[in-house]
Chains A and B, each alone.
Chain A
Amino acid sequence: MLVDGMCYQSYNWNKYRPLGALQHVVDMLEEYHCDEIAIIRPARNNDSFSAFKHDVEVLKHINTMTPISFGGGVRDSKALHFLKDLPVERLIFSSAFIKQKIDLISEATQIFGRQAIQCLLPCAMKSKELQIFCCDNASYVPVKQLDQKIIDEYANEVVIYDLLNEGEVDSFDFSLLDQFSFSRQKIVVSGGIGSNSIGEANRQQLASVLVDNKVLHSEYSIKGYKHAAKL
Chain B
Amino acid sequence: MQQNCNQCLYNKSHPFGLAVYLDGCSGCDTHLQKKEIDWVSVNDALIADVNQFKKKKRSYDCIVPVTGDAEDYFVLSQVLELGLAPLVVSVNDYFKNDIGWHNLHNLITHFDVDSLIYNPDINVYKELVRTSLRKFDHILLPFLSLHTSFPVHIAYERNIPLIIWGQNQAVEQVGKFSHHDRAQMSKWSRKEHDMLGLDMDTFIGNGAQVDTRSLNYYMYPEINRLSKRGVTGIYLSNYMLWDPLKQNQASVNFGFKPQKNRASFDIYERAGSSVYYQLHDLLKLKRVGYRKITDHLVREIRHGRIGRSEAKLVEQSYNQSKVELRGFFDWLNVTSSGYEWFKSHRLGSLSELIVESEVAIQSPTLPETLSCFLDASLEVSESFISFEKGVCI
Contacts and interface: CB of A to CB of B under 8 A. Distances in A.
25 contacts: A3-B1, A4-B1, A15-B19, A17-B19, A17-B30, A18-B174, A19-B17, A20-B17, A24-B188, A24-B197, A28-B191, A31-B223, A32-B223, A169-B181, A213-B177, A213-B181, A216-B188, A216-B189, A217-B183, A217-B184, A217-B186, A218-B186, A219-B185, A219-B187, A219-B223
A6 B181 contact: no
Given A167-B178, A217-B183, 8 more contacts: A4-B1, A8-B17, A17-B26, A18-B17, A213-B181, A216-B186, A218-B232, A219-B185
A219 B184 contact: yes
A217 B187 contact: no
B175 to A, nearest CB: 6
Nearest to A4: B1
Given A25-B188, A31-B187, A219-B227, A20 B197 contact: yes
B176 interface: yes
A55 to B, nearest CB: 14
B29 interface: yes
Contacts, number: 82
Contact of A21 (B176, B180, B197, B230): B197
A24 B195 CA distance: 12
Contacts of A25: 188
Interface in A141-194: 167-169
Interface size class on chain A is 20 to 34
B309 to A, nearest CB: 26
Contacts of B181: 169, 213-214, 217
Nearest to B181: A217
B19 A218 contact: no
B29 A6 contact: no
B175 A17 contact: yes
B358 to A, nearest CB: 37
Contacts of B233: 219
A218 B227 CA distance: 11
Which of B19, B176, B188 has the most C-beta atoms of chain A within 10 angstroms of its own C-beta?
Answer: B188
A223 interface: yes
A21 B188 CA distance: 11
Nearest to B170: A18
A18 B176 contact: yes
B181 to A, nearest CB: 5
Contacts of A223: 227
B182 A217 contact: yes
Interface of A: 3-4, 6, 8-9, 11, 15-21, 24-25, 28, 31-32, 167-169, 213-214, 216-220, 223
Nearest to A8: B19
A15 B227 CA distance: 32
A159 to B, nearest CB: 22
A28 B19 contact: no
B227 A17 contact: no
A28 B192 CA distance: 10
Given A219-B187, A219-B223, A19 B176 contact: yes
Contacts of A17: 19, 26, 30, 175-178
Contacts of B230: 220
A100 B177 CA distance: 36
Closest 7 CB pairs of A and B: A18-B17, A28-B188, A218-B184, A16-B19, A219-B186, A217-B183, A20-B192
Interface string B187-207: 111011000010000000000
B18 interface: yes
Contacts of B226: 219
B16 interface: yes
A152 B188 CA distance: 38
A16 B1 CA distance: 11
Contacts of B21: 15
B26 A218 contact: no
A24 B17 contact: no
Nearest to B178: A11
A17 B187 CA distance: 19
A15 to B, nearest CB: 7
Contacts of A214: 181
